[in-house]
Structure 1
Amino acid sequence: MKLLALISLAVAVSAGQLAIAQVPAVETRTGGISYTHRIDDKTIIIDKATGERIPASKYEELTRRDRNGYHLEEVMNEYGQPASYLLRPTTSEERETHRFYNRGDENRPKVGAEMPLFVMKGIDNKEYRSTELKGQVVVLSFWISTHRPFWNLKHVAQFAEALQPFQTGAGFMSLGIFSDSAEEIADVLKTQKLPFVAVPNAYGFNRKFGVGAGSTCIVVDRDGKVAAFIDGADYAALKTVLERLNRK
């Protein structure tokens, strides 16, 4: 299988936005969370404007002709991995700054709608499928990393306090999504008790669900519908949502 292109992406989270630098268009100099995807002749690339599929060889030709002229937006599957890519022209700002902004809110699950399918593998080696979690209230919390500046022990404590009244019985599940490896999270668990089952190597779910800010929560009701999308560390709002669901 011929390798046609290599894309390295680096993410810096600031003010709830995802700033993505794309290589080979520009050399990545951004700190934060990095990840790499290979584009080859089996990669599905769709023209965002027309909906037509573009061969990877055509994408390679376009970027060779105009290195900063195009950007690939990931379309994530239920495992938080890229299933395909949408190709679009860069904006004048992106061309000038070599930084690419995906509108995360386009991917955000809508309150009242069915939660998009997900399959997450926890630090406990168990698989958590959205279809099998129906009948439970599910809280997905997005922490990005256990390293500074993302990890805030005060926020973790406030989150735990908000969940505590609802974790005593069955019918409740809390999953914490991280970019960190299982080994990094295991190190944290040696000294800290976490109020969720940690899901390592899972930053793709941030992109799948349009999460930009750390400590964001998505609450799913017992019917599998989105009860709330809480952007950032608003634990009073989280507690209010859980109290309402607990009364049903």
Structure 2
Amino acid sequence: MKNVSVFLFVVVTFIFTNYGLIAQPNVRIERGAISRQIRIDETTKITDKKTGKTISYQEYRELTKADPFGYHLEPVFDEYGEVSAYKLRSVTSEERQTHSFTSFAPALRPKVGEPMPEFVMKGIDDKVYRLSDLKGHVVVLSFWISLRKPFWGPKQAQGFAEVLRPYRSETDPLSLGVLQDSKEDIERFLASETLPFIPVPNSYGFHQKFHITGSPSFMVIDKAGNVAAYIEGQDYDQLQKALQVVIR
């Protein structure tokens, strides 16, 4: 079962105000949009990407004042999927012309066969899921945009549930769904629908942390905490094959 996945493109626009610089990343997708807004101030941690040197807020302001479109801030995500700092770099010639920037680099995505970077996710069930505490269990991370149409529907729910069903036990696989939706929106959805995963509200930062460029995408983590498979798009046949290998 194969379908066309939705690919995400990030455009960052810098807006100057009397209160300082606001960096506003807008995620543009084929149908719909996700937007995030982050304020840069004196408490923001910034380092020079090339030298590793710490850059003060004042130094940053002076640089961007002298050349407003000459620099780009790359977000650094912590284990909670939140921006903890930024790396400053010079823009490319194309970025200078378009004033558009991408925060996704597929080459930096966790690689199959290597340890999965630590993450901590809080599910809609209020439980905290820390990767290091999940050793000995198979984990399936599914990355979605939203439970709203056109990003989610009965076909998505049925297809994913059918793949997981033969391998379900009391503990494995642990299925976590990474979503942009708020806890309130997800709770309203669950009042009338069921999901084949534990939703993780307000967790779009993990898309960027792990450089996930398609939706849906699936990452299977084996019992040792290594990435066993990465599947982009609704290729449930490949997901089923990956589960057959890791769940024995």
Q: What TM-score does the superposition give when structure 1 sets the normalisation length?
A: 0.87
Instruction: Quote the residue 2:20 is aligned against.
Output: none
Provide the aligned C-alpha RMSD in A.
Answer: 2.0
Instruction: Quote the residue 2:9 is aligned against.
Output: 18
Instruction: Quote the residue 1:232 is aligned against.
Output: 233
Which stretches in structure 2 are left out of the alignment for 5+ residues? 17-22
Instruction: Quote the residue 1:176 is aligned against.
Output: 177
Residue by residue, what CA displacement relative to the aligned partner does 1:88-141 show, whole Å, maximum 9, x if unpaired? 112222222221123421431111111101110000111111011111100000
Does 2:132 correspond to 1:131?
Answer: yes
Identity %: 47
The alpha carbon displacement at 1:228 in A equals: 1.0
The alpha carbon displacement at 1:20 in A equals: 2.2
Query: Contact 1:155/1:215 (CA < 8 Å) preserved in 2?
Result: no
Does 2:71 correspond to 1:56?
Answer: no
Does 2:208 correspond to 1:217?
Answer: no
SS in 2 for 1:170: coil
Instruction: Quote the residue 2:201 is aligned against.
Output: 200
Equivalences for residues 111-126 of structure 1 within 5 A: 111-126=112-127
Which stretches in structure 1 are left out of the alignment for 5+ residues? 1-13
**Distance in 1 of aligned mates of 2:46 and 2:106:** 22
**Distance in 2 of aligned mates of 1:203 and 1:85:** 17
- Give 2:132's aligned amino acid: T
- Give 2:127's aligned amino acid: K
**Distance in 1 of aligned mates of 2:56 and 2:233:** 39
The alpha carbon displacement at 1:15 in A equals: 5.6
The alpha carbon displacement at 1:60 in A equals: 1.3
Does 2:165 correspond to 1:154?
Answer: no
Instruction: Quote the residue 1:9 is aligned against.
Output: none
**Distance in 2 of aligned mates of 1:38 and 1:149:** 30
Query: Contact 2:24/2:38 (CA < 8 Å) preserved in 1?
Result: no
Task: State which drifts further: 126-135 or 142-151.
Answer: 142-151
SS in 1 for 2:218: strand
- Check 1:197–1:28 CA distance in 2 against 1; reply closer, same or farther (3 A cut): closer
Instruction: Quote the residue 1:107 is aligned against.
Output: 108
Query: Contact 2:182/2:201 (CA < 8 Å) preserved in 1?
Result: yes
**Distance in 2 of aligned mates of 1:149 and 1:65:** 43
- Check 1:27–1:243 CA distance in 2 against 1; reply closer, same or farther (3 A cut): closer
Query: Contact 1:218/1:229 (CA < 8 Å) preserved in 2?
Result: yes
- Check 1:152–1:21 CA distance in 2 against 1; reply closer, same or farther (3 A cut): farther
Residue by residue, what CA displacement relative to the aligned partner does 1:192-233 show, whole Å, maximum 9, x if unpaired? 110010000101111111011111011100011110111222
The number of aligned residues is: 234
- Check 1:149–1:87 CA distance in 2 against 1; reply closer, same or farther (3 A cut): farther
Higher relative contact order (CA 8 A, sep 6+): 2
Q: What TM-score does the superposition give when structure 2 sets the normalisation length?
A: 0.87
Query: Contact 2:42/2:56 (CA < 8 Å) preserved in 1?
Result: yes
**Distance in 1 of aligned mates of 2:112 and 2:241:** 15
**Distance in 2 of aligned mates of 1:17 and 1:182:** 23
Instruction: Quote the residue 1:167 is aligned against.
Output: 168
- Give 1:76's aligned amino acid: F
SS in 2 for 1:236: helix
The alpha carbon displacement at 1:148 in A equals: 2.9
Query: Contact 1:75/1:83 (CA < 8 Å) preserved in 2?
Result: yes
